[in-house]
Amino acid sequence: NKPIAPIDDPYQMFEKLYGRMKDQASLKSILDDVREDLDRVASHVSIEDRRLLEEHATFVRQMEQELKSADNSHLAHAVPELEPGVKDENDNMPRICKMQIDLMVNSFVADFARVATLQLTNSVGQAKMRWIGVEEGHHELSHKPDSDEESQDKLTRINRWYCEQFAYMAKRLAETPEPGGGGSLLDNTLLIWTNELGKGNSHTLDNIPFVLVGNGLDFRMGRSLKLPKAPHNRLLISLAHGFGHHIDRFGNPDFCSGGPLSELT
């Protein structure tokens, strides 16, 4: 129940995923450095505690050997090459987004991760999407009234751009074979695209759109469903059930009445 802070720097994400593979030749045994200390401690503890220390030392040694024997050439997918020198600036948002998506796909292929979240800006995001002809900040536009046709057109362009990024992610997964066979990564993944509000100018929580793509949980896809007043908690319960966790609530129990959404299956 602890929030995970997003990593907005793709180079930092690369280091987290692949950094330990770049310098395997210089890997040094931590266990060798602390072996004498462990022996001294072992001489002053009970037999049971001594056994636990030995089990821990054996586990650490096994992990060190696995790291040393790992070889990049044996990876299911090559280490990706990121475009160098892309600064964290407003106008670089499309390039950074693509880099993060590519890293996400590669992390699935290499089995570094099986669940990932891609967050584009934040709830008061002020990105100015000049690359699609929008000079105003997104948050500023989101509070314009429905009668402001020019602003609504720009919001449509912004959402279309977000949709294109989601489509790129799905395309990358569809073009990537599932390691070990069994179709593509998309055949074994469920993508969910959503927003925290139904409408920005009223902050309503009604009619929040959810787009589901992929075949990871065997939901009936290719349909448009309208579920009035159905809390998103029930969708999250459905996802948990799809993964084999048959919970009866997710988050506030007041919004879990009815359980999983039967319409999905």
Q: Which residue did the predictor score with more confidence, 261 or 181?
A: 261
168-227 pLDDT, tens per residue? 999 999 999 998 888 999 999 999 999 988 888 898 888 899 999 999 888 999 999 999
Residue among 140, 104, 107 nearest 121 (CA) = 140
Please, which contacts does 128-133 make with residues 24 or more away whose CB atoms are closer than 8 Å? 128/90, 129/93, 129/157, 129/158, 129/161, 130/90, 130/91, 131/91, 131/93, 131/94, 132/157, 132/158, 132/160, 132/161, 133/157
Share of the chain above pLDDT 70, in %: 91
Q: Which residue did the predictor score with more confidence, 31 or 191?
A: 191
**pLDDT at residue number 73:** 45
Residue 28 pLDDT more than 70?
A: no
Residue 81 pLDDT more than 50?
A: yes
- Alpha carbons 108 and 191: distance in angstroms, whole number: 13
Question: Is the overall model pTM greater than 0.85, yes or no?
Answer: no
Mean of pLDDT values over 258-265: 94
Mean of pLDDT values over 152-159: 96
The three-state DSSP-derived secondary structure of the chain is CCCCCCCCCHHHHHHHHHHHHCCHHHCCCHHHHHHHHHHHHHCCCCHHHHHHHHHHHHHHHHHHHHHHHCCHHHCCCCCCCCCCCCCCCHHHHHHHHHHHHHHHHHHHHCCCCCCCCCCCCCCCCCCECHHHCCCCEHHHHHCCCCCCHHHHHHHHHHHHHHHHHHHHHHHHHHHCECCCCCCECHHHCEEEEECCCCECCCCECCCCCEEEEECCCCCCCCCCCCCCCCCHHHHHHHHHHHCCCCCCCCCCHHHCCCCCCHHHC
